[in-house]
Amino acid sequence: MNIEKLLEIKKEFEPIVQVRSAIHKNAKLVEGSKYRKQIVVCAGTGCTSSGSKKVLEAIDEGLKREKLEDDILVVKTGCFGLCALGPVVIVYPEGVFYSQVTPEHMDRIIKEHLAGGEVVKELLYEDTVDENGNIKSLQETDFYKKQHRVSLRNCGVIDPEIIEEYIGTNGYQALYKVLTEMNPDQVIELMKASGLRGRGGGGFTTGQKWLFAKSSESDQKYVCCNADEGDPGAFMDRSILEGDPHCIIEAMAIAGYTIGANQGYVYVRAEYPIAVTRLQIAIDQAREAGLLGKDIFGTGFDFDIEIRLGAGAFVCGEETALITSIEGNRGEPRPRPPFPAVRGLFGKPTVLNNVETYSNVPQIVLNGADWFASMGTETSKGTKVFALGGKIKNVGLVEVPMGITLREIVEEIGGGVPNGKKFKAAQTGGPSGGCIPAKNMDVPIDYDNLIKLGSMMGSGGLIVLDEDTCMVDIAKFYLEFTVEESCGKCTPCRIGTKRLYELLEKITSGNGEMEDLDKIEALSAHMQKSSLCALGQTAANPVISTLHHFRDEYEAHIKDKKCPAGVCKDLLEYTIDAEKCIGCTACKRKCPVDAISGEVKQPHVIDQEKCIKCGVCMDTCKFNAISRG
């Protein structure tokens, strides 16, 4: 493909795509599309699991029934971000947002809205309708108005399986610019000036990493993409691959040109079938168009990409373990130095970045370093994608400028903690991160501040915890995960995580001693200093951060034999209030171990020796006579 053909495709598809992107950019709708309306359906993993395939079938049948199939374009896109509202359907050019759509709902939307011209307001996302019944754009809702979409700019906008739609959003123009107007040193200086840092964990400067690989002499070099995000609750990289795979291909080609590599590998977990399928489709399309392979844009530059599937080992998110796995060996880390930029895949210099990092590269090339650096903080430039989950109203994917506060994310974008509960903490960085307490909600979120608080950016998981969360139990949950995921190569991680877990288990079962807290701190420090890779070095972070910020909870488990949040089963005690109990016998009949005694119409009593603390009695009682403490 030459630049003339690229611009020709862009001219044809830009009006079609811009109609959709306008709602996100709060811009005027663009004329020039041959379709009267467009129906955009989220076909990411979240909405697919909620039934979007059946919705698409209903759309096809409904359009044929109303004879609208030639008048309305149906588009399957990636994630919009509001994952709890799936299946999601947006109708353009109005930009109205239908949520939790069923096939039956779709029949109404087609008949009343698409054919009849009347928006079905009761099926709209509630935040897009104001108190006067007026419809707002998504950009005006609390969830979107503080977001700034760079990595996610095309997710929910383009059809990821149609390369022409990506080209319609200036796709592959960054690659053309780099190959025809810039030398490798200029690309590196651009990346360094932008301040882009790795979005996968450590936050290392991208431009510096590329410089190291470029400076390494070798007959062969490689570009790798880490798409193996294994943090519980994290789905940022998956969503980008599902919604905008071509931007990763373009970025990896730019990296290949910059360091002198002609081969790339994307390491993606096999549990991401939609992402893998769409990435392979994109690779095949790029090859067919001449945007991968030999002599790209007639410049003499060769570059190709292959996919390698991971089996879901968390340790393979570590760069040397990932590289070892691509080579066909057991995924275990190795000592560094040498770093991959010097000796990486097959012993050759290798650049390895994660999906989100790469997703920023084409936009930096097209818009400039100053544009990217204008967002964020002094040391953390640009935006960050977070997977917002846990005890939060708006579960989903958000992209915000670095430096935004946790309060803004939780209370404004996330809609706050539901059911009138109080915010207690936020866990960031997954099993390698830590917990940020409520008192630090106004601290700007960036790489450095999170480390100061005992957490880390990580890949971007952000789990909200409310007052009903036991912080000792949450630390045990993450530590149990790392115990299972440790590759076992080094003793501090293999044995240390197990012993640390045993200490937490001892505390949550009511057998803890105050000396155990000293043991936890000493063991954690040893693991941080002695473990081979970041998995073991950071495995204790959830424990250390919760012990630091919520030490009173640990002490309550040990001294008072109580779990303040009422979570730890061995420390619970169910009791019946004699004044509230009417003797209906419902709890007695439901108890699986016959631990409840009492006569009809007389207060009942729970035998604590027999009670297995299952909670069935409390769930059964209609008079709130049973309490847990």
pLDDT for 217-237, tens place per residue? Answer: 999 999 999 999 888 888 999
In the DSSP assignment, the letter for residue 569 is G
Q: What pLDDT band is residue 408 in, cutting at 50, 70 and 90? A: very high
- The predicted pLDDT at position 23 comes to 58
- The predicted pLDDT at position 34 comes to 72
φ, ψ at 364 (rounded to 5°): -65, -40
Average pLDDT on 614-628 reads 93
Reduce the DSSP state of residue 269 to 3 states and report it.
strand
- The predicted pLDDT at position 594 comes to 95
Q: How high is the mean pLDDT of the chain?
A: 93
Has residue 30 got a pLDDT over 50? no
Q: Which domains does the chain have, with CATH numbers?
A: 3-140 (3.40.30.10), 171-368 (3.40.50.11540), 383-466 (3.10.20.600), 471-560 (1.20.1440.230), 572-628 (3.30.70.20)
> Tens digits of per-residue pLDDT, 244-287?
999 999 999 999 999 999 999 999 999 999 999 999 999 999 99
Is the pLDDT higher at 357 or at 461? 357
Distances in whole angstroms, Cα of residue 507 to Cα of each of 70, 86, 478, 551: 66, 40, 16, 12
Q: Evaluate whether 71 touches 35 at the Cβ level (below 8 Å).
A: yes
Is the pLDDT higher at 234 or at 621? 621
**311-313-317-320 Cα dihedral, nearest 10 degrees:** -90
Q: Evaluate whether 121 touches 82 at the Cβ level (below 8 Å).
A: no
d(CA 466, CA 16): 44
- The predicted pLDDT at position 430 comes to 87
- The predicted pLDDT at position 294 comes to 97
Give the contacts of 147 (CB within 8 A, at least 6 positions apart). 81, 398, 399, 400, 413
Average pLDDT on 494-503 reads 97
Which residue in 197, 229, 212, 83 sits closest to 143, CA to CA? 83
Question: Which tokens is 348 given?
Answer: 């050759």
d(CA 265, CA 251): 12
DSSP string across 184-251: HHHHHHHHHHHT-B-SSSS--BHHHHHHHHHHS--S--EEEEEE---STT--HHHHHHHH-HHHHHHH
Average pLDDT on 551-577 reads 93
The pairing of strands 423-428 and 461-466 is: antiparallel
φ, ψ at 609 (rounded to 5°): -70, -35
Sequence-ordered strand ranges (E) for 355-421 = 383-390, 396-401
Question: Which tokens is 136 given?
Answer: 């707002």
Terminal-residue alpha carbon distance, the chain: 69
User: Which stretch of 131-145, 328-342, 366-380 has the lowest confidence by average pLDDT?
Assistant: 131-145
Has residue 385 got a pLDDT over 50? yes
Residue type, 74: V
φ, ψ at 108 (rounded to 5°): -65, -45
d(CA 227, CA 187): 23
d(CA 265, CA 287): 15
Average pLDDT on 551-559 reads 97
Which residue in 525, 551, 542 sits closest to 461, CA to CA? 542
Q: What is the pTM of this model?
A: 0.92
Has residue 135 got a pLDDT over 80? yes
Let me know the angle formed at the C-alpha of 264 by 260 and 269, rounded to the nearest 5 degrees: 150
Has residue 24 got a pLDDT over 70? no
Is the pLDDT higher at 242 or at 83? 242
Q: Which residue has the tokens 């012990």?
A: 547
Question: Which tokens is 55 given?
Answer: 């919705």
Q: What pLDDT band is residue 26 in, cutting at 50, 70 and 90? A: very low
